[in-house]
A and B are shown apart, each in its own frame.
Chain A
Amino acid sequence: MLADFGFGVLIVTFLVALYSVIAAILGERKQSAQMVESARRAQLLTFPLLSLTAGVLIYLLVNNQFDVSFVYEVTSRSMPTYLKITAWWGGQAGSLLFWAWLLSAFTSAVTLRKWERDREFLPWVIVVSSITLAFFLSMNIFFENPFARFYQIAGGVDAYTFKPAGGVLVTPQDGNGLNPLLRHPGMIIHPPMLYLGFVSFVIPFAFAIAALVTGRTDDRWTRLTRRWTLWAWLFLSLGLVLGGRWAYDVLGWGGYWGWDPVEIAAFMPWLAGTAFLHSVMIQEHKGLLKHWNMILIMLTYALVIFGTFLTRSGVLSSVHAFAQSAIGPMFFGFIGATFITSVALLIWRWPELQSETEMKSMLSREAFFLLNNLLFLSVLVVCFWGVIFPLVSELFTGQKVTVGPPFYERANGPLFGAMMALMGIAPLSAWGKSTITTLGRAIWKPTIPALFVPVLAYLAGYKQPVALVGFFLVAFVIFVTLYDTFRSARARQRAQKEDFFTALARLAGRNRRRYGGYIIHISMMLMAIGILGIEAFQTETQGTIAQGQALQLDGYTIQYNEVASWDDPGAGVNYTRAVVDVSKDGKYLGQLYPRIDFYFDSQQTMTIPGLRSTLQDDLYILLVDWQPVSAGGATFKVYHNPLVNWLWVGALIFITGMLFAAWPDKDPSLRPVRASKHAVEPSAAD
């Protein structure tokens, strides 16, 4: 009964979303403010309606309503309540609903803003966001209904939305239980972050389309969506980092990133979004690249949907699975339709999007921003092609192939290196014009100390040549960033007669995006230290040893002390936990406890590493195998991951930088940035 109610509300929400699209278009056509207002209210209504639907689903999940097939698939009686709630996004149908719910939250927030000065955007922002919402809701309604229930008919038991003729409701005693891999805290937060990033990129896209349709082609749309973009980017980045941490903690392969297509699916919108985030600054500062920014935001939106499509349609396991899946072709059609429509709109408005000024020098900051875009898109090309090539190959030759980490690492390594070099040079170049001489004059000071860093690293034992180049670039970027900040603060100190720290604080406070960006650059470099550490210096060993025996790796001694195995019937898990003593160069460091968890309900195992983490290195121990019959021996796999912790340190600083850059101030959308005629010229709606 409750399930039917949930499904009913879902259908009503879908209709309300469709109504808001139609009302917005009609309202705009007939110049009826009332109609547009009605569309706006309809859109606002989707959020409480979807919250109600979600509430129903959560109620079913928490109360073990196993007659609902989704509840059966993702929960079991032994799961704690918080996991039953987060199981909402642990399966296909629920995660689509979760996506839609977040989207409606974001679009509601955006429609609640003051629209006085941008009335003409409103109907089109509603149209774009409501169409996207309606699409996701239609997936839930027609293909992946989270409220479908089990019915027994002559042919057997299956899940149906409506009671089939002669069907008898079946309620299983217990559910399958959530995939144990998804029971980790990282996996509980990771999908919401990723989805938040995904859905919030819909907002700048909606404004871009609104700008194209209305022909208001100044940089208003980019300024209005600046903070949305930053928040979207923050969430997407956090989603990626948390996903990495989750992989490191539960997947048991000693790393955080495996160039898996699912990871790349989330990485691609990030790449396009990052390019957009940079290039939009050129438009704001110089009035250049209006076409390009439109293309980038369209690409980001398409990749957001494409990422969801890749992970949700089954296309990755085989093109045939895609053809058989119900939602695959629908997603494909939606991506195609929205992309073609946006490109057509762009072509229509092409002549009106001319640049206001000219690019003057190949060494100007705008030229460097373009080079940045080229590099991000190059990585995107590599990733996109790597992900779809197995499908292309299967389609044309019938042969399945794997495109794995070696491909991506070889291709992207130099591109990442170039990005780092650019991150160092670009902040020292000036808008408009720089020459080799002026740039050289600015660069040599931070370069000299940066050259010492690889020397020190070499002396400390990090001798891999590529990593040494990487360390130089890390130091170069950090020193340039600090030097440039120092230089500007000093200039302000002199001009305003303030003390240095006041000058620094005021300078950063006035230019939050810039200095937030600098903090992010530094955080990226710290993350790069972690990546270089694991890529260039990771070592591993594996061995089966008897109690009392030890494995050796990079000066570490890992001695097998004991192992115990016990059931926890309440949690439905069997734990096998080994105790190992760790010492380094003869000095005793403590005990670690690698585990194997076996989940009865889903019949799955999870390998949890014993981890010793310092800023210098991680010791990552896995219990690979242990057989009760031969209780004397156990197989351990040990990874030594130098410097990897800097990745997580960098991630924390990254969040700080993002918050600094994106935190709302008094009236962000109205604060002009560009000192050009358009910044002071009142536009039609002002």
Chain B
Amino acid sequence: MKRLFWITAFLLVLSTSLIFTQDRLAVATASAQGSTPTDDEVNAIAKQLYCPVCENTPLDVCPTQACKEWREEIRGMLADGKSEAEIKQHFVDYYGARVLAEPPRTGFNWLVYVVPPVAIAAGIFVLFRALRAWSQASTPEAGTDEVDASSPPDDEYIARMEEELKKRN
């Protein structure tokens, strides 16, 4: 049982950390140099960017004039044959890391990715310790009051108890 728990906990933490650090699948956006990139190609990149003015509105759906111009800038860069990474870097260079949908994984920003899994792992640990302490404290009578989960749960018992209590009240 104990081993089962630790394996589960380990896998959970591992998968959470992997999930936190893994990059989203890049959307194919490359277009042949020279041809006008389509709106969909532009939006695929714009979706991942945030302008510094319209907070928390992705660039692909932001209706402001400034954002429209940014989208045209992306179109121009795609037409010049720039890659998705280059285009994103261009905006980061000009406006700072806040244009990205997530903080870049460097320096102080690592905290955003590390704190939740650590806190969750701590929660799992505390919960497990508490459960173990409780179940150990009650092991002597374990097995004697086992309830068969395939039988109906305690509704009937509660209902009878309530009837009794109503009578007494």
Chain A residues packing against B (C-beta within 8 Å): 251-254, 258, 260-261, 316-317, 358-362, 367, 370-371, 374, 377-378, 381-382, 385-386, 389-390, 392-393, 396-397, 399-407, 410-411, 413-414, 428-435, 438-439, 441-442, 484, 487-488, 490-492, 495, 507, 510-511, 514, 540-544, 605, 607, 624, 635, 637, 670-673, 675, 679-680
Contact = CB atoms under 8 A, between A and B. Distances in A.
B78 interface: no
Given A389-B111, A393-B103, A433 B142 contact: yes
Contact of B148 (A405, A438, A680): A438
A507 B160 CA distance: 12
B134 A386 contact: no
A495 B15 contact: no
B148 A402 contact: no
Contacts of A514: 155
A112 to B, nearest CB: 23
B124 interface: yes
B138 A431 contact: no
A432 B116 contact: no
Given A358-B137, A389-B103, A393-B109, 10 more contacts: A362-B131, A399-B108, A403-B102, A410-B22, A413-B19, A430-B149, A491-B156, A540-B40, A605-B63, A672-B161
Contacts of A605: 63
Contacts of B109: 393, 401
Interface residues of B, number: 68
Nearest to A487: B152
Contacts of B108: 393, 396-397, 399
B61 interface: yes
A10 B52 CA distance: 39
A680 B165 contact: yes
B3 interface: no
Nearest to B101: A404
Contacts of B157: 675
Nearest to B5: A362
Given A253-B61, A397-B108, A403-B103, A358 B56 contact: no
Contacts of A439: 149
Given A402-B101, A411-B116, A431-B153, A679 B165 contact: yes
B169 to A, nearest CB: 7
Nearest to A289: B130
A488 B152 contact: yes
Nearest to B144: A433
By Cβ-Cβ distance, the 7 closest A-B pairs, closest first, are A359-B134, A404-B101, A542-B39, A438-B149, A253-B61, A491-B152, A430-B147
B88 interface: no
A385 B116 contact: yes
Given A358-B138, A403-B112, A544-B39, A442 B149 contact: yes
B76 to A, nearest CB: 16
| Interface class of chain B by DSSP | helix
Contacts of A543: 38-40
A343 B91 CA distance: 46
A382 B38 contact: no
A414 B50 contact: no
Nearest to A386: B112
Contact of B159 (A410, A431, A438, A511): A511
Nearest to A438: B149
B147 A672 contact: no
B158 to A, nearest CB: 6
A404 B135 contact: no
B58 interface: yes
B155 A511 contact: yes
B149 A317 contact: no
A670 B169 contact: yes
Contacts of B40: 540-543
Chain B CB within 10 Å, residue with most, of A371, A490, A540: A540
Contact of A671 (B55, B155, B162): B162
A359 B156 CA distance: 22
Contacts of A432: 145, 147
A253 B58 contact: yes
B154 interface: yes
B137 to A, nearest CB: 5
B127 interface: yes
A298 to B, nearest CB: 17
Nearest to B97: A401
A434 B116 CA distance: 31
A378 B154 CA distance: 30
